[in-house]
């Protein structure tokens, strides 16, 4: 079967490309550790050719859409941010063509609250893909990660979103802070009770900067093992994100939050949301492919 | 004049000792970069002798009291934490004598909230000293730093305290996070408007993990200079500490918060507190000497 679209997710640390049929099934896929951090300026086109040139020559009528940091200022070509509210068609109008008519970069999105901008690159496409997979036009979505993104969609348009530096702060605290001395070298499997205790504590008065110190003192008095404390810390930072986000953006009763991402992280968010009385539905990494397919469909209309 | 007490502040990074008269005036003082981090286990006594041995021989009846990390598990001798509520006399009862009758380490304090302990070592002594200098027996005190300590004193006893990892988190975010790329190599002088904006933003919904990302996006869109952003970030983390602490511990109307510490940091906290409608009175590093003097007085009673 001839592929319908070459979908590329080109982020900070890695490059993934998939040949999709018109239903979003993956016909073939390539991955490489060639993200923004490992690419010399001016060599993006070569890296692209090296990984995907043969596919493009083999199917001369196939388009390629790329999402992620490939469109940032440090990327291949800067694809200026589109403003919210934004539909897939709005994103498609902002496509930045690196090979006219054939290969394009999806723009990121920008929104502003209280005069401070927020930005997203790549997750907006995953959000649209998840909505298509779920048959929804209205939803609250969260995409956990180094920088966790909460996306509010109404009438098929991203109305607003907000970024939390949860994953990055966890890594810094985990590896570089005083707390690192009390934690194991590697994160083990999730210990549900410890994680839940961290999530619960983040809902208590005191604030994150205070609750973090509790990880130190619980170690000092031998109240928890180091593996337990790592899960407690994970619960604390994820719990803080949820506390703050849910205070800012009430989730309507009976609404479900869509959690998109890798299994392990999605499971933690789903668990934390459940402990706060919020039901979650999960979508895996295939969301990105479906988002690019939805964008491609708007070009052809 | 013969000195009344050798007062020593022996912390994580430095060692300070002062010969005090009975009124707390400093007759002579020695400082060295010989804190816990630079001392080999088992050599604390040698370092002490090297810096203060001559003074102790010169005035054979003079006592020496030491506060700070010298009494921690990694210190000279572990001085077990005393429990709250605690008065200066309670602390004195917990003194850990390394030379019986002559040289002692002040214990730290422990308190527990919701099953999670909190600890302090050294700041409790500064708090008592500040109260003596101000003639107070009831106060809320804050000691900013790597780990900021809020201490609540009633009837001359520390009733409770809470630690915020504000300074440590600021340093990590400032130096090691994505935000570091947008900040100058060194912190410049305080830019009041930028600092105030950070404090104000920390009071808005969204939470610290979200507001931090605003530092990145403001840089991305050129909204503030790098020097401005460093002050904004400082305001964000200090503002978050104050938001959380004041939500947990209401400051009574007409009460003033006592801020203890170095000039630059105290000025930031005083400014941030004022912007939240809380008046502050400041006390400098001499608080620690007066605290040790107050402890010494209870031994002689």
Query: Residue A254 pLDDT more than 90?
Result: no
Contact criterion met (CB < 8 Å) for B118 and A201: no
**Which chain A positions have a beta carbon within 8 Å of B243's beta carbon?**
207
Strands B5-10 and B15-20: antiparallel
Contact criterion met (CB < 8 Å) for A244 and B208: yes
**Which chain B positions have a beta carbon within 8 Å of A169's beta carbon?**
173, 177, 209, 212
pLDDT band at B250, cuts 50/70/90? confident
Nearest CA in chain B to A215: B116
Q: What global pTM score does this model have?
A: 0.95
Shortest distance between the Cα of B264 and any Cα of chain A, in A, equals: 21
Contact criterion met (CB < 8 Å) for B217 and A168: no
Which regions of chain A carry the CATH code 3.30.420.300? 5-130+288-300
Nearest CA in chain A to B247: A205
- The average pLDDT across B66-79 equals 96
- Alpha-carbon distance B34 to B14, whole Å? 5
Nearest CA in chain B to A223: B116
**Which chain B positions have a beta carbon within 8 Å of A223's beta carbon?**
117
pLDDT band at B252, cuts 50/70/90? confident
Contact criterion met (CB < 8 Å) for B117 and A221: yes
Taking the Cβ of residue A214 and every Cβ of chain B, the question of whether any pair is shorter than 8 Å is answered with yes
Contact criterion met (CB < 8 Å) for B164 and A209: yes
pLDDT attached to residue B164? 98
Contact criterion met (CB < 8 Å) for A114 and B201: yes
| Percentage of chain B lying above the pLDDT 90 cut | 93
pLDDT in tens, A182-213: 999 999 999 999 999 999 999 999 999 999 99
- Alpha-carbon distance A33 to A43, whole Å? 15
CB-closest option in B73, B165, B217 to A212? B165
**Which chain A positions have a beta carbon within 8 Å of B209's beta carbon?**
148, 164-166, 169, 208, 237, 240-241, 244
Taking the Cβ of residue B222 and every Cβ of chain A, the question of whether any pair is shorter than 8 Å is answered with no
Taking the Cβ of residue B217 and every Cβ of chain A, the question of whether any pair is shorter than 8 Å is answered with yes
- Alpha-carbon distance A246 to A253, whole Å? 12
Query: Residue A106 pLDDT more than 80?
Result: yes
**Which chain B positions have a beta carbon within 8 Å of A36's beta carbon?**
none
Name the A residues in 112-131 with CB < 8 Å from any B CB. 113-114, 116-119
- Alpha-carbon distance A158 to A124, whole Å? 8
pLDDT in tens, B83-121: 999 999 999 999 999 999 999 999 999 999 999 999 999
**CA nearest neighbour of B206 among A121, A248, A57, A46:** A248
Contact criterion met (CB < 8 Å) for A117 and B220: yes
pLDDT attached to residue B256? 87
pLDDT attached to residue A301? 65
Name the B residues in 28-47 with CB < 8 Å from any A CB. none
Contact criterion met (CB < 8 Å) for B217 and A166: no
Query: Alpha helices, DSSP H only, in A121-225?
Result: 123-134, 166-176, 192-202, 208-220
CB-closest option in B173, B210, B243 to A164? B210
Fold of A5-130+288-300: Nucleotidyltransferase; domain 5 (3.30.420)
pLDDT attached to residue A253? 78
- The average pLDDT across B17-36 equals 95
- Go through A188-227 and write b for each residue having 16 or more CB atoms within 10 A of its CB, e for each that does not: eebbeebbbbbbbbbeeebbbbbbbbbbbbbbeeeebeeb
pLDDT band at A256, cuts 50/70/90? confident
- Alpha-carbon distance B141 to B266, whole Å? 12
Query: Residue A297 pLDDT more than 70?
Result: yes
- Residue A137, CA distances (Å) to A134, A154, A159, A160, B60 in order: 9, 6, 12, 14, 83
Query: Residue B30 pLDDT more than 90?
Result: yes
Contact criterion met (CB < 8 Å) for A209 and B240: yes
Shortest distance between the Cα of A148 and any Cα of chain B, in A, equals: 9
**Which chain B positions have a beta carbon within 8 Å of A210's beta carbon?**
162-165, 241, 244-245, 248
pLDDT in tens, A121-140: 999 999 999 999 999 999 99
Which regions of chain A carry the CATH code 3.30.420.310? 166-283
Taking the Cβ of residue A245 and every Cβ of chain B, the question of whether any pair is shorter than 8 Å is answered with yes
pLDDT attached to residue B301? 64
Architecture in CATH of A166-283: 2-Layer Sandwich (3.30)
Taking the Cβ of residue A190 and every Cβ of chain B, the question of whether any pair is shorter than 8 Å is answered with no
Contact criterion met (CB < 8 Å) for B207 and A147: no
pLDDT in tens, A14-52: 999 999 999 999 999 999 999 998 999 999 999 999 999
Shortest distance between the Cα of A251 and any Cα of chain B, in A, equals: 15
pLDDT attached to residue A1? 79
Taking the Cβ of residue A182 and every Cβ of chain B, the question of whether any pair is shorter than 8 Å is answered with no
Helix axes A226-248, A166-176, angle to 10 degrees: 150
Mean pLDDT of chain A: 95
**Concatenated DSSP letters for B173-226?**
HHHHSGGGGGS-SS--S--HHHHHHHHHHHTSTT-HHHHHHHHHHHHHTT-S-H
Nearest CA in chain B to A118: B217
Contact criterion met (CB < 8 Å) for A207 and B166: no
Shortest distance between the Cα of A84 and any Cα of chain B, in A, equals: 16
CB-closest option in A118, A177, A213 to B172? A177
**Concatenated DSSP letters for B86-124?**
B-HHHHHHT-EEEETTTEEE---EEEEETTEEEEESSHH
pLDDT attached to residue A251? 86
Nearest CA in chain A to B221: A117
């Amino acid at each position: 079967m001839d592929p319908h679209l070459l979908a590329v997710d080109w982020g900070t640390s890695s490059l993934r490309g998939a040949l999709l049929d018109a239903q979003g099934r993956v016909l073939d896929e390539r991955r490489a550790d060639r993200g923004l951090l490992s690419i010399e300026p001016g060599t993006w086109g070569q890296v692209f050719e090296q990984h995907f040139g043969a596919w493009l020559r083999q199917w001369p009528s196939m388009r390629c859409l790329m999402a992620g940091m490939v469109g940032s200022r440090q990327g291949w070509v800067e694809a200026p941010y589109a403003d919210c509210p934004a539909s897939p068609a709005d994103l498609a109008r902002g496509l930045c063509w690196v090979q006219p008519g054939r290969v394009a970069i999806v723009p990121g999105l920008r929104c502003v609250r209280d005069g401070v901008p927020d930005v997203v690159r790549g997750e907006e496409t995953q959000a649209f893909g998840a909505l298509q997979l779920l048959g929804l036009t209205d939803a609250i979505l969260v995409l956990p990660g180094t920088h966790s993104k909460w996306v509010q969609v109404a009438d098929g348009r991203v109305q607003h979103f907000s970024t939390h530096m949860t994953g990055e702060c966890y890594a810094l605290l985990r590896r570089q802070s005083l707390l690192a001395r009390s934690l194991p070298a590697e994160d083990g499997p999730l210990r549900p009770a410890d994680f839940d205790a961290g999530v619960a504590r983040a809902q208590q008065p005191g604030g994150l900067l205070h609750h973090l110190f509790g990880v130190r003192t619980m170690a000092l008095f031998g109240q928890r093992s180091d593996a337990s404390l790592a899960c407690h810390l994970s619960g604390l930072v994820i719990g803080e994100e949820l506390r703050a986000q849910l205070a800012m953006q009430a989730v309507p009763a009976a609404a479900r939050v869509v959690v998109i991402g890798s299994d392990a992280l999605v499971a933690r968010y789903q668990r934390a949301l459940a402990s706060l009385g919020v039901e979650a539905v999960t979508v895996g990494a295939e969301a990105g492919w479906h988002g690019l397919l939805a964008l491609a469909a708007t070009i052809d209309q």
